[in-house]
Amino acid sequence: MSNAQDYRGYINGQWIENDARLAVENPANGQVIGSVPDCSLQQADDALASAQAALKGWKKLPAFERARHLFRLIETMKPKRDLFARLLVLEQGKTLNEAYGEFDDTLNYLNYSAEAARRIEGQIFPADNAGEQLWIQKVPYGVVVGLCAFNYPLALIGRKVGPALVTGNTIIIKPHEATPITACVFAECVEAAGIPAGVINVITGRGLAVGEHLVKSPITQLVTLTGSIRAGQAVCAAVAENVTAVSLELGGKASFIVLDDADIDRAVDAVVISRYANCGQVCICAELVLVHESVAARFTEKVIEKVRQITLGDPMNNPGMGPSVTAQGLARVDHIVQQTLAAGAQLALGGGRPEGAEFAQGNWYQPTVLTQVTADMEAAREEIFGPVLPIVTIKNLDEAIAITNRRNDGLSAYLWTDNYRTIMRAIDELEVGTVFVNKQIVGYIQGYHSGHKRSGIGGEDGIYGIEGYLQKRTVYLNCN
Just list the catalytic residues.
Answer: 249, 283
Nearest to 470 by CA among 117, 206, 157: 117
Backbone angles phi, psi at 460, to 5 degrees: -125, 160
Can you say how many angstroms the Cα of residue 359 is from the centroid of all Cα atoms in its chain? Answer: 27
> Rounded distance, CA 25 to CA 4, Å?
10
Burial class (CB in 10 A: 0-12, 13-18, 19+), 424: exposed
> Rounded distance, CA 143 to CA 168, Å?
10
Which CA distances in Å does 369 have to 270, 338, 344? 15, 13, 14
> Rounded distance, CA 17 to CA 7, Å?
8
Which helix (H) or strand (E) segment holds residue 237: the answer is: helix 229-239
Q: In what order do the strands lie in the sheet with 368-373?
A: 346-349, 368-373, 388-394, 286-292, 254-258, 412-416, 434-437
3-state class (DSSP) for residue 388: strand
As a residue count, the chain comes to: 480
Burial class (CB in 10 A: 0-12, 13-18, 19+), 253: buried
368-373 and 200-202 strand pairing:
unpaired
Contacts of 87 (CB under 8 A, 6+ apart): 181, 182, 185
